[in-house]
Amino acid sequence: MSRAPRKPGFASRPSDPENWIRAAEAPPSGKAAGEAFTARLTIDITPELRGRIKVAAFRRGITVADMLRDLLAREFPATEGDPT
């Protein structure tokens, strides 16, 4: 009997890690270079605060990420001479 080709599992390793890593560095094709998100921010908050943030975003009809991006952009506006 012949076996069907084995499909890679969910967490399988890429066959060529170097190209796989470089592909992640390519800018997203759907967004302009200035609009691409290039960093992830992780903060520790209480479960209660997380719940309040999620409810506030839901009531506004936006995602938590979009709401927090707007808040951070408002609090820390770009100034002349800042790296882009």
12 vs 75 pLDDT, higher one: 75
**Mind listing the pLDDT tens digit for each residue in 3-31?**
777 766 666 666 777 776 666 666 555 55
What percentage of the chain exceeds 90 in pLDDT? 42
d(CA 83, CA 27): 18
Mean pLDDT of the chain: 80
pLDDT of residue 43: 92
pTM of the full predicted structure?
A: 0.52
